[in-house]
Amino acid sequence: MVEVRPLVPRLALAITLSLDVLGMPSPLAAQGASLSSVERAIVVSAQQRNADALTFLETLVNINSGTHNHDGVRQVGALLRRRLDALGFTTAWVDATAVNRAGHLVATHAGRGPKILLIGHLDTVFEPSSPFQRFERLNDSTARGPGIIDMKGGDVIILQSLEALRDAGVLADMHLVVVFTGDEEDAGRPLTEARRALRDAAQGAVAAIGLENGAGDPATAVVARRGATSWKLETTGTAGHASQIFREDIGAGAAFEAARILSAMYTTLAGERYLAFNPGLVLAGSELTLNGPGTEGSAAGKHNVIAQSAVVTGDIRTISGEQLERTKASMRRIAAANLPHTTATLTFDDGYPPLPPSAGNERLLALYDQVSRDLGTGAVEGVDPSRAGAADVAFVADLVPMIIDGIGLSGANDHSDQETADLRMLPVKVKRLAVLLHRLTRDALR
């Protein structure tokens, strides 16, 4: 396993941003001498287009595109599609009604350079019923709004980067495929169908770049993510009067069997690096009902009656497929060692796969870090995978040799009504992405 580099102090970047706000020259600005004339043109374009970027971001944020608001998701996709069409991309809307979702926007620019995949998403966690619906400017450098960093800010960064590349005269040579999924926050099922368009787009790509907000820190990027898998444990026991529990012909009951399994899982698995497992819902009694998604249910029983049934639903987070399979095997072994007159059934539903650390991912991070240094915006380090949730980029981990994510718009409190963006970082992130794309293409064509 390739080790993910630890976080480091962000003092240099903080000083740079503070001086920029004060109108003073940055101590890192001299590093701009490392930029080529084309890259300087990219920087100029990104800066000149920043007002348009802010306006477009506000427009997107003010369109409700909760995953299940299919019309809203399509509206956001249509606005992005119009801009991509103007850049000469071939665009297509991939319908996803088969998995009860709005669909995905796929845009292709087939230049002679190596194929690079860019990944964003159109949906947010805020459905029309949410009271959090509008973009709000808090001050000169901060704004709040639904999906402003997760991830409409990242979508705008993709678009603005492409426009800066076009302005600098280098977009024509680039082979880029952009995929904006419409259901990242609540993917349709089956996942094989819901992510077919993304995986098809990844075929033959030399690099994949995700514009999620990651840890929200502009001095970090994501090169490894943990995957998410759900599980359900169902136990049964022999019903009877509570006074007779543990009798040879009655046994321990379903509640004790579930408790035994959970306790053994904790003893056996807790503390392993990057592994998280959590029982989120537990029900036991003489009768119980669990709803379809497994997020709520009901149980009935009496204190003097042995529980006949129990159910537990939970979550697993792992850094690799190997860690996931090893964890499943341990959980199955534990569940199989039943208490007297009980049964236990353990099932898994694989969700988002992990993005394991790799030498290729570290290589792409190093290239991005060098771009940031050359731009005078400081070093970029790999964030601890424990701080990076599951994301679409992981679905192409087995197809693309170099992957980086979490380089979208910086901010805080995503998935809450305090989701806030650091607007100072919007042009910075545009410049970083655009120069990285230019260098990946330029170096391959030399």
User: What is the residue-wise DSSP string for 299-361?
Assistant: EE--TTB---EEEEEEEEEESSHHHHHHHHHHHHHHHHSPPTT-EEEEEEEE-SPPB---HHH
| β pairing state of 142-144 and 136-139 | antiparallel
pLDDT over 80 (residue 294): no
Nearest to 362 by CA among 335, 380, 342: 380
Same fold, 11-225+355-445 and 228-350: no
Contact between residue 254 and residue 309 where contact means Cβ atoms under 8 Å apart: yes
Give the single-character DSSP code of 188: -
| pLDDT exceeds cutoff 70 at 207 | yes
Res 4 pLDDT > 80: no
Q: What is the structure's pLDDT at 387?
A: 81
Chain-centre distance of CA 411, in angstroms? 15
pLDDT(252) > 70: yes
Residue 399 has what DSSP assignment?
A: T
Mean of pLDDT over the chain: 92
Q: Is the peptide bond before 402 cis (omega within 30 degrees of 0)?
A: no
Range 11-225+355-445 classified under CATH 3.40.630.10: yes
- Residues 195-200 have a mean pLDDT of 98
pLDDT at 160: 98
State the average pLDDT over residues 264-275: 96
Residue with tokens 């639903």: 313
Q: What is the mean pLDDT of residues 230-242?
A: 97
- Domain boundaries of the chain, sorted by first residue: 11-225+355-445, 228-350
Instruction: Say how far apart CA 320 and CA 361 lie, in whole Å.
Output: 14
Mean pLDDT value across residues 354-365: 97
The pLDDT-based confidence of 1 (bands split at 50, 70, 90) is: very low
Q: Supply the pLDDT for residue 427.
A: 98
73/94 Cα distance (integer angstroms): 12
What is the structure's pLDDT at 21? 38
Note the pLDDT tens digit of each residue in 431-441: 999 999 999 99
> What is the enclosing helix (H) or strand (E) of 289?
strand 287-290
How far is residue 388's CA from residue 184's CA, in Å, rounded to a whole number? 15
As a whole number, mean pLDDT of residues 307-331 equals 97
Placement of tokens 């503070």 in the chain:
18
- Amino acid at residue number 99: V
Mean local confidence (pLDDT), 52-73: 98
> Residue 360: what pLDDT?
98
Q: pLDDT tens digits, residue range 83-127?
A: 999 999 999 999 999 999 999 999 999 999 999 999 999 999 999
User: According to the model, what pLDDT value does residue 32 have?
Assistant: 54
Closest C-alpha among 314, 296, 312 to residue 228 = 314
**Is the pLDDT score of 15 beyond 70?**
no
132-158, pLDDT tens digit by residue? 999 999 999 999 999 999 999 999 999
pLDDT in tens, 378-433: 999 999 998 877 899 999 999 999 999 999 999 999 999 999 999 999 999 999 99
CATH number at 228-350: 3.30.70.360
Percent of the chain, pLDDT > 90? 89
User: At 25, is the pLDDT very low, low, confident or very high (cuts 50, 70, 90)?
Assistant: very low
Count CB atoms within 10 A of the CB of residue 276: 15
Q: At 31, is the pLDDT very low, low, confident or very high (cuts 50, 70, 90)?
A: very low
Strands 90-95 and 103-110: antiparallel
Nearest to 102 by CA among 113, 90, 94: 94
Note the maximum CA span of the chain: 85
Residue 275, classified by CB atoms within 10 Å of its CB into exposed (0-12), middle (13-18) or buried (19+), is: middle
